[in-house]
């Protein structure tokens, strides 16, 4: 594992911190101009947040739930990281969901464990539904007809995965 860099705010100032942030445009997933806005921001190379797919009338809330994820996932385990000590481990998905639901929204004093899930694969049923239902624009669907990222060389995929292990 890569050596861990201690997290510190030493030397930070509010002005320097704010220099790192930029406004990001947001657009509703149900907007009539969504495809146009996506093309415009892609052309500019600017970040864009598309939000609210769950508000689409055709969205399957029953399908896209944690309980359904646990039920249909190919793996019954998930790789997790403890954000307090940077340790990684694999635990059952059901245990991860239970711990996540029990955790409050903010870290508590003397808290020793707070997990986040890493590298979980999208269940096959979810991917197929997203590709067929035309709720998410084709340019945003993973492995969809306009997903250019799927054509990246395997060496790039490996580097991205290895880089993600550093954090």
DSSP 2-53: PPPPPP--TT--HHHHHHT----EEEETT-TTHHHHHHHHHHHT--EEEE-G
Flag whether pLDDT at 145 surpasses 50.
yes
Residue entry with tokens 């996506």: 38
The pLDDT of residue 152 is: 74
The string of pLDDT tens digits covering residues 62-113 is 999 999 999 999 999 999 999 999 999 999 999 999 999 999 999 888 999 9
Higher pLDDT, 100 or 140: 100
R_g (Cα) of the chain, nearest Å = 19
Q: What is the pLDDT of residues 9-26, one digit of tens each?
A: 788 888 888 888 888 999
Distance linking the first and last C-alpha atoms of the chain: 10
> pLDDT grade, residue 159 (50/70/90)?
low
Any idea where the domains of the chain sit in the sequence? Answer: 14-51
């Amino acid at each position: 594992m890569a050596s861990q860099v201690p997290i510190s705010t030493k030397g930070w100032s509010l002005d320097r911190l704010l220099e790192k942030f930029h406004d990001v445009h947001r657009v509703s997933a149900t907007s009539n101009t969504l495809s146009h806005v996506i093309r415009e921001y892609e052309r500019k190379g600017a970040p864009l947040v598309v939000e609210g797919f769950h508000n689409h009338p055709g969205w399957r809330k029953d399908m896209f739930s944690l309980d359904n994820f646990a039920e249909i996932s190919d793996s019954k385990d998930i790789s997790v990281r403890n954000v307090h000590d940077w340790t990684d481990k694999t635990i059952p998905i059901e245990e991860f969901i239970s711990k996540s639901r029990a955790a409050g929204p903010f870290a508590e004093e003397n808290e020793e464990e707070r997990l986040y899930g890493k590298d979980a694969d999208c269940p096959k049923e979810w991917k197929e539904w997203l590709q067929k239902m035309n709720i998410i624009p084709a340019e945003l669907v993973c492995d969809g007809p306009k997903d250019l990222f799927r054509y990246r060389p395997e060496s790039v995929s490996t580097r991205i995965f290895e880089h993600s292990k550093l954090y």
